[in-house]
A and B are shown apart, each in its own frame.
Chain A
Amino acid sequence: MDSESLLLSLELAAGTGQGLSPDRRTALLTSLLLVKRDYRYERVLFWGRILGIVADYYIAQGLGEDQLAPRKTLYSLNCMEWSLLPPATEEMAAQMAVVKGRFMGDPSHEYEHTEFQRTTAEGEKTFEDDVVVQVKEETRLVSVIDQIDKAVAIIPRGALFKTPFGPVHVNRTFEGLPLSEARKLSSYFHFREPVDLKNRTLLEKADLDPSLDFLDSLENDIPKGSWSIQMERGNSLVVLRSLLWPGLTFFHTPRTRNHGYIYVGTGEKNMDLPFML
């Protein structure tokens, strides 16, 4: 959610039950402003909160002019002092795949994981070595945030538009989705580089507007039904919750410009989703 409209956004996203305490909110208002100044970001988003056993991580992201460019992620333990996280790589994702369980809350905590490595010596004997691989929690944090962003960060249709030169900008004339469109999954896009767009048929592409429909929509998400759309507050607020990463809430007031998403959760993917639907 945009740090400019933090208070309103937090209130709108409160339907999931998790939010921020007043002291954290005030701290965020101040510190995000300073982050914006120091790092020269165009927009600073408050991404959310990852609950750990000992402490919680508060995550923020900074964006430049181009909204789809790789974002800088920062984390903090007390909403005041922010540290920059390294960008995510595929190695990190591979390493992280073996780690299970909750986040500890200590960035320097190391997860130990023993791997079996078989080395065949010349004499055709296989040695099995137990290699203890250590994964730092910071790496895990980076990787999880990246996965969540790629999987479930969403934006309503029309909020961003693509300029003819390439960069993607915020649409200042976005008036909000009409109520008839707000309940459809096709009105929401993934806030990441499009993956699926080329696979659309030509007929579908003919109906698209290249300046607005340049991202993947939520309709083709697998597994089907991994989003729950609800109207809250007496039908005046649309809330989308992800079932794949429980804790991600996207809210939007139809016919207004307010929209945003926040993740408050344990940072674990819900692998049981197919059984639960």
Chain B
Amino acid sequence: MGDPSEPPSGQYPNRRSFQASEQRHSLEASQPQAAVPEGAPQMLPAQQRGSQGIPSMRWSEGASLPEQEDWLMSQTFQATGTPIAHTEHPSFPLGFQTQAYLEDGRTLAGRTLAGEYTTNLMLQQLQQGQGGLLQQLEPAYQPAGASFLSQFDSYHRENQPFKLGTQHSFYPRDDPATPTFSLSEQGFLYYSPEVPEPPPRELAVQNAKAYLLQTSVGSDLSLYEHLVNLLTKILNQRPEDPLSILESMNRTTQWEWFHRKMDTLRDDPEMQSTYEMAEKQRGLFIQGGGDREQDMEEEVAETAVPNIMETAFHLEQAGVGLSVEESFRIYLALKQLVEQQPVHTCRFWGKILGLRRSYLVAEVEFREGEEEGEEEEGEELLEGGDTLEQPGGEEEGEEDEEKVADAVPKPQWKPPPVVPRESRAGTNKYLYFVCAEPGRPWTRLPPVTPAQIVCARKIRKFFTGHLDAPVVSYPPFPGNEANYLRAQIARISAATHISPLGFYQFSEEEGDEEDEGGAGRDSFEENADFEGIPVLELVDSLANWVHHTQHILPQGRCTWVNPLQKSDEEEELGEEEEKGDEGPDEVEQEIGPPLLTPLSEDAEIMNMSPWTTRVSCTLCPQYSVAVVRSNLWPGAYAFASGKKFENLYIGWGHKYSPDNFNPALPAPVQQEYASGPEITEMSDPTVEEEQALRAAQEQALAAAEDEEEDEEEEEGEDLDD
């Protein structure tokens, strides 16, 4: 090197720092500036030693390199002399890498100027103190005239063979002492004829690098840049066994390049629905306005919302139930329900899973007098339907009377009488509200009719999650999914709501038993003296549990009603129709097991008890709860511990049947009209018969004509006389 003297190093830091500040990355400015003073003094001694590993530095330079930098790169390549052969200097990439990666990370555009990098490169390298670029450059450059290094040490040389097309300030202007650098326009490659041809190896390296820096039409990312990103990522994250995940990291790095992080101002469109749901659920947690003290007192006093957390805790001991957070959200949602509706008692009934959404079901009892508004509307609708049917029948009757001869035979099929639904008792004792998720509004389910229950027993369908979805089935279900859901809830409640023996007792009114004809009492009350049954006894014997909901009769109701009894509305039509009433007049009264029947009386399924009992924890039986699981309705659970008990259902909403489901066969074809003379087809007369008939007719005609002629002749004779 010419004179490894102060001037180059003195100039160097200034140049570097200025150059750095010129760049967009002001963040990096401090680094190079810090690096520079340290690096510079090392430069000189470093120059003396040989350096290697330049190519690795080069490779690991971050950011893309526009052409102007290409030029610089090529300069540095020249400067390095024998770049490829050197494989040492593992420390090179490190510091440099970090910086380059930082660069990359901070500037999303990722376009940094190589000039800075190369300088930083060299500085870092020099910092390592393991010989640097300059050392290597040193020997290599000696012969070369205009070299990168020579620029440094002879920056003040007037004959700058390279035009300054770039912001790089390696090339001093007029006065080397005061580096003034102007941002020149985009540079271009300009090789002055004075520049000697680079050695073939370097040329090869240059070409290779230029090739790697190519970007395709489809993307902005060159292989060079991608490899830089990949290696910086691996070095930063330091995963174990990187070779095994190389391909995955490769893919991920590419993906990250094209999928930048969103700006801070824009919301992530994918997460939109999640945020909306979170907002709704946030509403659950916010308490209404008003004095805090008053609210607390009111809430503590009496609330219809049960202690769901306690129930959830006990059921969790049994391994059943939703997670604790979900249970708490359900509690808040129930609280919201209680505030919105006039609720007397409320209970979390369970969850029914559906295809697209699930239903959370709350069992609710309204306060007295609140519910009638809805019911009256329902009844009016029914009556309206009936009145519409009546004029239709009358019109048909009139038409029939007019055209008796050609009347279309009236169908003699009469639909079976509709069994009236129970109101506020039996299957409709409770009201049910459903919602899809806590935070969404609660929807009320309509009361269930016996026809719906009867039909629900014959079909088996999954719930979709939308209440207005049609239920396509045979026999056709009278209603949509809301009705089907309600019917299944009624069936499940009737079959699986159990309580420990003695918790409920019948209210003591002895006269009722005779009045109701022994059909069973349907009212019970809590037993204040209930002591609780020990867990082990509950588990051992099913007789310690009783049903506290009424069994649903085959008719679809809990209390039997004779469908043939004429009500007031039907009596008007009854006179005409009585004659045609060929249905069985006697319908047997259906009897089901009475209320508070112990479970041991339940029918078995395939030699298997319909209930399974377990102790929740065998390791600590003294603190565990008794759990009863239904085998008939998979998903129905009940637990009891001390004086507490609760029922819960979480499942798909279907009954278990060991045999495969057999859909109902279509009804037998209706009988055709009875054949009678008026509709019997007569056979056509044969040819002989027709001829015989014609002959007979001709004879009759001939005979008639003869007689007429005779009469005319007689008359004529009379006239003649």
Contacts and interface: CB of A to CB of B under 8 A. Distances in A.
Given A172-B248, A173-B248, A272-B660, A15 B322 contact: yes
A19 B606 contact: no
A21 interface: yes
Interface string B641-658: 000000000111010101
A85 B108 CA distance: 55
B461 interface: yes
A266 B280 CA distance: 36
B319 A78 contact: no
A231 to B, nearest CB: 8
B5 interface: no
Given A16-B650, A17-B651, A172-B239, A276 B322 contact: no
Contact of B608 (A53, A171, A235, A271): A53
A178 interface: yes
Contacts of A11: 323
A22 B316 CA distance: 7
Contact of B321 (A17, A100, A231, A276): A17
A51 B635 CA distance: 11
A181 to B, nearest CB: 10
A101 B358 CA distance: 28
Nearest to A228: B355
A211 B250 CA distance: 13
Interface residues of A, number: 50
A18 B661 contact: no
A230 interface: yes
Nearest to B462: A276
Given A15-B326, A161-B248, A22 B317 contact: yes
A53 B614 CA distance: 10
Contacts of B651: 17
A102 B252 contact: no
B319 A100 contact: no
Contacts of A236: 274, 277
A132 interface: no
Nearest to A19: B319
Contacts of A175: 252
Contact of B606 (A101, A173, A271): A101
Nearest to A27: B619
A114 to B, nearest CB: 16
B325 to A, nearest CB: 8
B340 to A, nearest CB: 21
Nearest to A209: B251
Nearest to B472: A277
Given A53-B612, A169-B244, A235-B274, A275 B663 contact: yes
Contacts of A17: 320-322, 351, 635, 650-651
Interface in A247-277: 265-266, 271-272, 275-277
* A contact face: mostly helix, strand, loop, or mixed: loop
Given A18-B320, A228-B356, A246 B652 contact: yes
A277 B277 CA distance: 29
Interface in A152-192: 161, 163, 169, 171-175, 178-180
Name, among B244, B317, B320, the residue most crowded by chain A CB atoms within 10 Å (CB to CB).
B320
A198 interface: no
Contacts of B703: none
Interface residues of B, number: 60
Contacts of A173: 245, 248-249, 252
B382 interface: no
B248 A16 contact: no
A246 B618 CA distance: 27
Contacts of A243: 355, 462
Interface in A201-256: 211, 225, 228-236, 241, 243, 246
B319 A21 contact: yes
A40 interface: no
Contact of B617 (A21, A228, A230, A276): A21
B437 A234 contact: yes
Contacts of A178: 270
A21 B616 contact: yes
B587 interface: no
B357 A171 contact: no
A230 B439 CA distance: 17
A91 interface: no
Name, among B244, B247, B651, the residue most crowded by chain A CB atoms within 10 Å (CB to CB).
B247
Contacts of B618: 78
A225 B464 CA distance: 11
Nearest to B239: A172
Contacts of B461: 275-277
A173 B237 CA distance: 12
A102 B460 contact: no
Given A101-B658, A271-B660, A18 B274 contact: no
A16 B585 CA distance: 49
B667 interface: no
A20 interface: yes
Given A161-B247, A272-B660, A272-B661, A18 B650 contact: yes
Interface string B338-375: 00000000000001011111100000000000000000
A109 interface: no
A104 B517 CA distance: 43
Nearest to B656: A266
Contacts of B686: none
A250 to B, nearest CB: 14
B278 interface: yes
Contacts of A225: 355
B452 to A, nearest CB: 18
A234 B608 contact: no
Contacts of B276: 235
A118 interface: no
Contacts of A276: 460-462, 654, 661
B619 A23 contact: yes
Interface in A95-114: 100-102
28 contacts: A14-B322, A14-B323, A14-B326, A15-B358, A17-B320, A21-B316, A21-B319, A22-B316, A23-B620, A53-B609, A53-B631, A78-B618, A101-B608, A101-B658, A211-B247, A228-B356, A229-B356, A231-B273, A232-B437, A234-B278, A234-B439, A235-B274, A236-B277, A243-B355, A271-B660, A272-B460, A275-B461, A275-B661
Given A15-B326, A19-B320, A234-B278, 20 more contacts: A20-B319, A21-B319, A23-B620, A78-B618, A101-B658, A169-B244, A172-B239, A172-B245, A173-B248, A179-B274, A228-B353, A228-B354, A230-B357, A234-B277, A236-B277, A246-B652, A275-B460, A275-B661, A276-B460, A276-B462
The 3 lowest CB-CB distance pairs between A and B, nearest first, are: A17-B650, A234-B277, A272-B661
Interface of B: 239, 244-245, 247-249, 252, 270-271, 273-274, 276-278, 280-281, 316-323, 326, 351, 353-358, 437, 439, 460-462, 465, 606, 608-609, 612, 616-620, 629, 631, 634-635, 650-652, 654, 656, 658, 660-661, 663
